[in-house]
Structure 1
Amino acid sequence: MLNITIVSLDIIMVILMSLAKTRKVGGSLVVTLPKELVESKKIKEGEIVEIIVKKVRKDGFGALKGLTSFTAKDELTAHE
């Protein structure tokens, strides 16, 4: 679970992000909320929640677009 705090003017907003796998139940897809997320947001059964859906990239192709090649400056050196 990823916890991000956004501070904008006098508004503080905490966004909890979590990955979940869909599963088929009847003709619908179901997502189970992780226990940590439910406890931290104090979500109760029957409550209405807002969910933002974003598909996760399956491969890394193009993920490092714009990354330049390594130089001598990037090389790791042994600590003394």
Structure 2
Amino acid sequence: MATGETGFSDIVYDLISVQYHALKGGHDYGQYVRDAEKAGKKDLAQFFRESMDEDSRRAARCHQFLTQLSGTKEAGPAAG
């Protein structure tokens, strides 16, 4: 498995990237919920809450995969 300049395999890098963006999105959606509620748009607030929940599940799933790969040859030398 390829290890780029980071010393981690591409797949570990990809999982970390997806996890980061899911966590960042989930954090940002909190503000979007507040904005929608302030504007009296309950349907939009609910949509943003659902998006936050989806990103939370996505980040947790990435964490599970990263845990499985941790310390394996598939993760690359930096994770071993």
Question: The TM-score by the shorter chain falls in which range?
Answer: under 0.3
Pair member with larger Rg: 1
TM-score, normalised relative to structure 2 = 0.26
TM-score, normalised relative to structure 1 = 0.26
Structure number with higher relative contact order (C-alpha < 8 Å, ≥ 6 residues apart): 2
